[in-house]
Structure 1
Amino acid sequence: MLDGLDDIDWAKLSHAYGSAGDVPRQLRELASPDEETRHGALGELFANIYHQGTRYKATPKAVPFLWELAADPGIGDRDAILRLLALVTVGFDEQHLPGGFDLDELRDAARGGEALAVYGSRSWAKLLYSIHRAVSKGTHIAAGLLSDADAGVRCSAAYVLAWFPDRPGHVPALLGLASDPVDAVAATAIVAASLIGGEVPPALLDDERRPVRWAASVALAGTGDARAIAELTSWLSEGGEPLDVPFLEGNVRALAALALERAGGDVFDVLLDGLTRLTGTEALTVAYRVLAMAFPEPVAAGVAFGALPERQRRVVRALAHARGPWLIGTSSFGNFGILMRETGLPRTREEMAGYLSRG
């Protein structure tokens, strides 16, 4: 196993903390029978070849070995290895949802085309393109793992395949998992199929399982299907059972909000109502969309509440009365306050209430 690992001059490659000379050890430790050793190696790899979304010259070199490990049924934590492969492919998936990964744009940027402005530099675009190509060479492994006995592996394999629009041949196998007995697997596979261009059957909108209806609605909201829109709206207004899908780290209501926005029409009321019922990162993701709709420009200093346009006043009223969006768990959510400040609004609920009361 891991033949050729030592043929690479890892010390001359870089990762987040400098030389990548420690990567061979970490890859070997992923094959350890000791769970603590494996988890330590996973943590190190997530931190050094994929550091908060940034990737490095060592990243594409590690990919073939990660695939080899993921393919071996005797290896533990294969689901986590597959998620690492997905993340090194696309970075933060919120940048590509709900529309999917734009491979043509990345390819154009790597060639120095007009899309280069999206990526900032050609060297960065070329690195990301090389990683995408490296991971694509193992998508047949992910396809094979869709039938794995481990539900976590099936789910993570579907997640990997979601980022390869040039591999539409995997759509039938992904849609075949719509009947998987594990809700998270079925939902992940349905969304993944839609992201690579698969036609999700509208009949899934009437499935008896709510997570399946959620996934089908995310996929079909863009068609304007009234059932899909109603289903997604219910996830924002009423919530839903926890669903351990990889997309947005399981933030199913946030993805529902993004899909609703893609549906077209004015979904401001639905999103604002949903925002008042959310907390933590779910609230933050929806708040970004609500604020983008209501505040095309930050509020100028000194502008009174009464001078705001009606849609902006509605946001202020809602956030002055809703406690949840300002919290993460039971603590004050600093990132939400920062978002408010960047919009020109008060950064605490108490200050928002005061702003409202002054008229």
Structure 2
Amino acid sequence: MTTFSGQRWDGPLARAAIEDVDWASLTHAYGAADDVPDRIAALRSPDRSTRDQAYAALYGSVFHQGTRYAASPFAARALISLAADTATPQRHRVLTLLASLAIGYDDACLPGGFDPARLRREVAEAAALDPADARREMEEWVAEAPSEDIRRNRAYHLEVFDFAFERDCLRWALESYDAVRTGTAVYRALLEDDEPGVRIAAAYLLAWFPEDAERSVPALVEVLRTEAHGHVVATAAVAVLLLGGDAALTAWAERGMSDTGEPVAWAAAFVLACLGGGSARAEAVAVLQAHIAQDADGPEDDGPVPDDDETAAPDDEAAVSVPYLGGDLAGLAMAALELLGVDGGDAYA
């Protein structure tokens, strides 16, 4: 049994999330997960470089290139307690890691939201399928290839395919999602945190749990009514949309497009476009196209950061920006315009 070496946070449930777990019997991307407790402990270090190293190690092990492992849901439960403790430095980073553990990369979930029912079905179907039957199906798929080049390509996929591992990855993804979901009450409470970065990350995290929409949507709608920080408001508005929308959201969006703050106007137009536009369709299109054009005229993007470092050490400036799609609001604007049948590329002309 691994102990939580040295640093602790208050509360028996928090300590149990570490000390009552046999980490050595669990695995992550690099083998036994007995190093996870010390990595989690290091997230409370007063030293920034120590925290950076711990985040990089956790992203690389329990969330390796988007894959969750047996240790991932157990890490999630410990991270929830860290997020709830105001003594934890940079809690927005804890919440961001929790979001990654819950859904993976969010590009697959936008602009429609996360579908946990689909994941649950996929896990059940994979569990019911015999590995030998799965291999036979793939062998038939290889044999049915219409050309030799395609056959060789399919044969390679068959050679590297590990059905048991893929089945386990699906199960671990669902277990991680459900583990992160146990903290939704914590995330709702953090919508009132003193730090805007924490409020943003909490709203973003709540967006991925539609099964808790009945409790989360009213809390997020209250943010739209009372919050003064534009990026928090924008993040909360998109979260309500991803949780299924609300009558209050439509009314807010129709008012919000006239807001002088860019993230709020963008969020209002994005919400309306995703809802079909309504009577404000033309105005929403104009706002989104203007945002795309402004982005095209801005500094050239250096491109994505490699997977291993992608979210390992977000800086404090990123903590107070709208986090969906890695902050690519122009990309989201184009996706919303596509829903309306409008070519967002026209804004680049």
Contact persistence 1:214–1:231 (CA under 8 A)? yes
For residue 113 of structure 1, report the CA deviation from its aligned partner.
Answer: 7.6
Partner deviation per Cα, 1:238-261 (whole Å, 9 max, x = no partner): 339998211111111111111111
| Aligned positions of 1:4-15 closer than 5 A | 4=16, 5-15=18-28
1:185 is matched with 232
Distance 1:237 1:30 in 2: 39
**TM-score, normalised with respect to structure 2:** 0.72
Question: Hey, what's the Cα distance between the residues in 1 that align with 2:91 and 2:198?
Answer: 6
Alignment check: 8 A CA contact 1:111 1:122 kept: no
SS in 2 for 1:74: coil
Which residue of 2 is the match for residue 63 of structure 1?
76
The CA deviation string for residues 313-357 of structure 1, in whole angstroms up to 9 with x for no partner, is: xxxxxxxxxxxxxxxxxxxxxxxxxxxxxxxxxxxxxxxxxxxxx
Q: Distance in 1 between matches of 2:288 and 2:255?
A: 16
Quote the residue 1:233 is aligned against.
289
Give the whole-Å Cα distance in 2 for the aligned partners of 1:81 and 1:106. 24
Partner of 2:337: 260
TM alignment of 1:210-289, pairs within 5 A: 210-222=262-274, 223-224=276-277, 225-239=281-295, 244-263=321-340, 265=341, 267-268=342-343, 270-271=344-345, 273-274=347-348
Partner of 1:130: 175
User: Following TM superposition, where does structure 1 have runs of at least 4 consecutive aligned residues deviating by more than 6 angstroms?
Assistant: 240-243
The DSSP-based 3-state class of the residue aligned with 1:163 is coil
Give structure 1 stretches of 5+ with no counterpart. Answer: 277-359
- 2:244 alignment counterpart: 197
- Map Cα deviations across residues 56-81 of structure 1 (whole Å, 9 max, x no partner): 11100111110000000111010000
8 A Cα contact 2:263 2:322, kept in partner: no
The letter for the 2-side match of 1:216 is: A
Identity %: 40
The residue number in structure 1 matching 2:221 is 175
**What is the CA RMSD across the aligned residues, in angstroms?**
2.4
**What is the alpha-carbon distance in structure 1 between the residues aligned to residue 332 and residue 174 of structure 2?**
26
Q: Aligned with 2:125: secondary structure?
A: coil
**Per-residue deviation, 1:273:** 4.2
Work out the CA distance in 2 between the residues paired with 1:47 and 1:77: 19
- In the TM superposition, 1:36-115 aligns within 5 A as 36-112=49-125
TM-score if structure 1 supplies the norm length?
Answer: 0.70
Take 1:24 and 1:227, find their aligned partners in 2: how far apart are those partners? 51
| Residue segments in structure 2 that go unaligned for 5+ positions in a row | 1-8, 135-162, 299-317
Return the offset for 1:219.
1.6
Write out per-residue CA displacement over residues 204-263 of structure 1, whole angstroms, 9 at most, x where no aligned residue. 223232211111222220313222222111111233999821111111111111111122
- Secondary structure of 2:113's counterpart equals coil
Q: Deviations over 1:57-115 (max 9, x none)?
A: 1100111110000000111010000000011111110011011001111111122189x
Secondary structure, aligned partner of 1:111: helix
